[in-house]
Structure 1
């Protein structure tokens, strides 16, 4: 953001300088050219007036020669012709800048003409006010001095523009840092909070008032979030302790009673033990959902093929016992941004559900499909079991919703919570030919993700790191 602010301000400064300096330079150049042309015309008229006294009034040509000498002293070239086109006065230099017929046209019509030939401006001026005139004057003046003057003017304009640009660079950089640094710090603090560091707070004392107010609001939100998270975790720990302990004690007492009971009583006690086991699974599932909802993930790059292979190996004995084949498909080396341990728990719940539904001889395939365009990775668990109808698929991620008498209806709910907590999404669709396909989308891990860079920075900041 700092760079964008600086570039935007500099672009505005450059645009203003271009709109101000270039038109000003063009205007000054045009004005100096006009002034040079007018001064040249004035000098030519002065020489022509002096020559008119000799050609028209038959006076001495002393004034005309004096003006010719003055023109030569200025470095100009002057040639005076009589009415017949004969040259009778001239400076040492002789410039031929006008077309051959220009002199004849001036002598015939008395019209002033001018032309630019290289670095010389030449004017043909009639001598006298009569038509045809008493003579003609060719007056040439070098534009070297004008060019040097214009170059100096453009140089000063360039120096002023560079000075203004330098001041604009200084102002843009300071403004960008003043605005951008607090936002960068706030972004880093927000990232640390998102990674699970609930004590992260912003200490911003500089920058715009709006950014400082935003930092104060963020700190208030972070404090409330920390209090809520600690409260939820305390409740989860208390519930876990208060529920599991009496259930374990009750199961032990039923085991003791079943050991000395007759067949009918033992059968009833066995049913009670099954219900206690189901209640234990339900409590464990509720606690897992609560942890998934209240956890703050700290994500890192996780190799999907490695985790999938490990979980397939762990569930392979159960699958072989039930006559179901487990397989994995997809490229190797694909990584996603996930909290360590979450993908294992997601796959365990999906495998458990699929193995309960897929009959002997069926298969469960895990497919990995990267999508570079969306910067995502899709993980699909495909089975060829009985599947679900559309209504069941719409309710599948809700708690306690199950289409079977057994189970708690929390497996897919846990999957959905864990995937959502990691910034992904989940969807169900029927498998072509029969069965259920669970699609999971996760953020793809870049080659050097921001999380990895923060991890390296944290290691450097640790003592002895």
Structure 2
């Protein structure tokens, strides 16, 4: 952000300086040229006035020669011509006696306004001596353009210097302004990132910057405090529920086991049914706790090798698949590294594979594949079971969304929560030829190197 603000401010200042300095320099250059030309013509007219007294009134040539000497001392070249364009007097310099000078004289004597040329760094000017329509002669004055060019160069030099000083001041000001704005925002961004990674005690410390940023930091701290209290409250509830429900269920199961050990006939059958319901209730409590933990999960992303996890989970579930006479395969795919919370991909695949194995009939197949899809790693779990209709798919990711599920009906809810909290997506598609395909897309890792992956918990969620 600092760079963008500084560059924007610098570009804006550069444009403003160019729009201001360049026209001003051009205007001053034009004025310098006009002033130089006016001074030259004025000096020419002084000599022409003295020459007129000599040419038309036949007075002494002394005043005319004095003016020529003055022009020579100033570094100018001057020459006086009569009405027949014959040279009458001149300075020692020959610049006012060349072909261009004679062309100017002829135009002046003809009553035309000559276009003053520039030859070898000297500007020529011609003025009539006497009446413009019937001049008694003409005066040509050649003056070096070096002083004019030096002043013009000085004008542009000062303009460039002022522009550079303005740019330097703009750079300093823009950098300070950018840092004043971006530093508190960077601090706030870092705090938000750490909070999002699970550090619930993180707070933003912003003691500078614009008032809006300070108010934003205060609002963020308030939100972080409420989030911390809410998450800790949920965790406390989950811990209490886990203890308060599992303990009496375990005690009740032990009592039923004791009663079932000495029961016979109808009593034994009823007790067996009660034991089955207790086991189902225990699985339901475990599933609800797993969903609650997934919903409050705030992952710290690590580099997870998708290809390794897919192969590992397929191997772990292979004995279960063989026992149920189901073909479980995981075709090799590209080496992909995803950005996920530690253990989340294992938990997701465990739920998906378990659901698929429960759904396919004897002799069916389940395939777990993966490939790259743009900025995501795409994992597909396909089965050739009965599949789902459109209504069942619409609510499949809700808690107990599928009333016909053989399990608790919570597995897909856990998968959906873990996928979305890690910045991914999950959807259901029909398998060609019959069955269901779960498509999981997870963001690819953008870090320098994968972090070491801990061994997952193989317990079925």
- TM-score range (shorter-chain normalised) is over 0.9
Q: Any conservation in 2 of the 1:423–1:442 contact (CA below 8 Å)? A: yes
Equivalent residue in structure 1 for 2:292, among 290, 297, 315: 290
Structure 2 residue 153 is matched with structure 1 residue 174? no
Residue in structure 1 matched with residue 380 of structure 2 by the alignment: 380
Counterpart-to-counterpart distance in 1, 2:132 and 2:280: 127
Q: Tell me what 2:155 maps to.
A: 153
Are the structure 2 counterparts of residues 447 and 224 from structure 1 closer, same or farther at C-alpha, using a change threshold of 3 Å? closer
Q: Superposed, which structure 2 residues align to 1:32-181 within 5 Å? A: 32-95=32-95, 96=98, 98=100, 101-181=103-183
- Cα distance in 2 for partners of 1:421, 1:392 equals 23
**Alpha-carbon distance in structure 2 between the residues aligned to 1:14 and 1:330:** 58
Is 1:357 the counterpart of 2:335? The answer is: no
Contact 1:77–1:92 (CA under 8 A) maintained in structure 2: yes
Distance 1:447 1:46 in 2: 84
Q: 1:143 to 1:13 in 2, by over 3 A?
A: same
Match of 2:14 in 1: 14
Q: 1:357 and 1:122, CA in 2 relative to 1: closer, same or farther beyond 3 A? A: same
CA offsets 1:154-179 (integer angstroms, 9 cap, x no match): 22222222222222211111111111
Correspondence list, 1:408-419, <5 A = 408-419=408-419
Distance 1:78 1:394, change over 3 A: same
> Higher mean Cα deviation, 323-332 or 439-448?
323-332
Distance between the aligned counterparts of 1:175 and 1:27, measured in 2? 34
Q: Is the 8 A contact 1:97 1:116 kept in 2?
A: no
List structure 1 runs of 4+ shifted beyond 4 angstroms: none
Structure 2 residue runs of 5 or longer lacking an equivalent are 452-461
2:358–2:406 CA contact under 8 A, matched in 1: no
- Give the corresponding residue for 1:241: 243
Closer/same/farther in 2, CA of residues 130 and 24 from structure 1, 3 Å limit: closer
SS at match of 1:113: coil
> Normalising by the residue count of structure 2, what TM-score does the alignment of the two structures yield?
0.93
Cα distance, 1:130 vs structure 2: 4.4
Q: Structure 1 length normalisation: TM-score? A: 0.92
- Give structure 1 stretches of 5+ with no counterpart: 453-465
Distance 1:398 1:413 in 2: 5
CA–CA separation in structure 2 for the residues paired with 1:330 and 1:5: 48
Structure 2: distance between partners of 1:434 and 1:100: 106
Name the counterpart of 1:252. Answer: 254
Match of 1:183 in 2: 185
- Contact 2:351 2:412 (8 Å CA) reproduced: yes
Give SS of 2:117's match.
Answer: strand
For the structure 1 residues 118 and 224, does the alpha-carbon distance in structure 2 shift closer, same or farther, using more than 3 Å as the test? farther
**Given that residues 349 and 411 in structure 1 are in contact (C-alpha distance below 8 angstroms), is that contact kept between their aligned partners in structure 2?**
yes
Aligned counterparts of 2:318 and 2:434: Cα–Cα separation in 1: 23
Q: Is the 8 A contact 1:113 1:124 kept in 2?
A: no
1:328/1:90 Cα in 2 relative to 1: closer, same or farther (>3 Å)?
farther
Partner of 1:459: none
**Aligned pair partner of 2:279 in 258, 274, 277:** 277
Structure 2: distance between partners of 1:404 and 1:180: 55
8 Å CA contact 1:112, 1:126 repeated in 2: no
SS of residue in 2 equivalent to 1:423? coil
Check the 8 A contact 1:377/1:444 in 2, yes or no.
yes
The answer on whether the counterparts of 2:124 and 2:142 sit within 8 Å (CA) in structure 1 is yes
Question: How far does residue 409 in structure 1 lie from its aligned partner after superposition?
Answer: 0.9
C-alpha distance after superposition, 1:80-106 (max 9, x if no partner)? 111111112112222247386443222
Deviation at 1:119, TM superposition (A): 2.1
Q: How many residues align?
A: 449
- Counterpart among 331, 337, 340 of residue 339 in structure 2: 337
Aligned partners of 1:130 and 1:141: how far apart in 2? 23
C-alpha distance in 2, partners of 1:333/1:121?
A: 80
Q: Deviations over 1:250-282 (max 9, x none)?
A: 111111111111132222211111111111111
- Structure 2 residue 434 is matched with structure 1 residue 434: yes
- 1:347 is paired with a residue whose SS is helix
Counterpart of 1:461 in structure 2 is: none
SS at match of 2:110: helix
Deviation at 1:435, TM superposition (A): 1.3
In 2, are the aligned partners of 1:2 and 1:177 still within 8 Å (CA)?
A: yes
Aligned to 2:457: none
C-alpha contact (below 8 Å) 2:101/2:124 kept by paired residues: no
